[in-house]
Amino acid sequence: MSAPQLVVHRDKELMAQAAAARLITRIVDAQAARGSASVVLTGGRNGNGLLAALASAPARDAVDWSRLDLWWGDERFLPAGHSDRNDTQARAALLDSVPLDPARVHPMPVSDGVYGTDADAAAAAYAAELAAAARPENHAAVPAFDVLLLGVGPDTHVASLFPEHPAVRETERMVVGVHGAPKPPPTRISLTLPAIRSAREVWLLAAGEDKATAAAIALSGAGELQAPAAAARGRSRTLWLLDSAAASQLPRSLYPASQA
């Protein structure tokens, strides 16, 4: 696993714009190298802010949207089209405005779908969908995602992996149902740490003063049970993208003196 690299931006707006430009470049490079690209989306204000910035970026048309696979790191287990679902918010922020191939967009199951309210069955189905998309060279039951995006919560959670929660302890399954989450809604579906660590690059997004303590804890060597964000690592790169407020409690030695 790769050691974390930090990039600190002046404010959350600049962070979103820079992250969007960085993501466009990464997608274009992957498509040039392998013909397609694979990205795992995250929800929350920072994830949606990145997507909105991407939607308005002049360079967005450099991406061949028809050759992009989109997955989700977690989802609120709610009915289709619910305003709190990550995929609903992502469609509003970006996805409905670009020419994606619908067959390559992979939202997590809904609570009023074929699995009903059984989040565990829905999680198993998503794991099977990921496994079907994996290639032998990936050496895992998930694709080798080019970029996996994660928002960092104030409690250091990533995806729907909360500190000391059973889901963060999972070592075998790639996707799990999450029950009794400390943040509403209590029932969710989430990729696990083994799935997250299969990605080529993991990008963690943190902006705002309410993320400062979480960033400091996660980057101080905390254990994964106490700080799931500390355990989110990519195979080739782990990138923390922060604004100055979220980075305010970090030792200056952790990131370059010059800020974007």
Residue 225: count of CB within 10 angstroms of its CB: 14
User: From CA 70, how far away is CA 58, in angstroms rounded?
Assistant: 21
Is the CA virtual torsion 90, 202, 207, 217 positive or negative? positive
Who's near 111: CB < 8 A, 6+ residues apart?
A: 77, 78, 79, 117, 119, 122, 187
CA atoms within 13 A on the CB side of 62: 19
Q: What is the pLDDT of residue 221?
A: 83
Taking the chain (260 residues) in runs of 10, the rounded mean pLDDT of each run is 88 97 98 97 96 96 98 98 98 98 98 96 98 85 96 98 96 97 96 97 97 95 92 96 95 58
Q: What is the pLDDT of residue 1?
A: 65
Is CATH 3.40.50.300 correct for 4-254?
no
Q: What is the pLDDT of residue 187?
A: 98
Q: What is the DSSP letter of 184?
A: S
Who's near 67: CB < 8 A, 6+ residues apart?
A: 31, 35, 36, 37, 101, 104
Q: Where are the alpha helices (DSSP H) in 35-74?
A: 44-55
Distances from the Cα of 18 to the Cαs of 45, 94, 191, 242, in angstroms?
16, 16, 26, 11
Structure token pair of residue 213 = 């303590």
Q: What is the pLDDT of residue 139?
A: 72
Is the CA virtual torsion 193, 195, 200, 203 positive or negative? negative
User: From CA 72, how far away is CA 12, in angstroms rounded?
Assistant: 22
User: From CA 215, how far away is CA 211, in angstroms rounded?
Assistant: 6
Strand partners, 72: 41
Name the percent of the chain in helix, strand, coil, to the closest 5.
40, 20, 45
Structure token pair of residue 84 = 């709190």
Give the H/E segment covering residue 8. Answer: strand 4-9
CA atoms within 13 A on the CB side of 247: 24
Residues 44/13, Cβ–Cβ less than 8 Å? no
Q: What is the pLDDT of residue 258?
A: 41
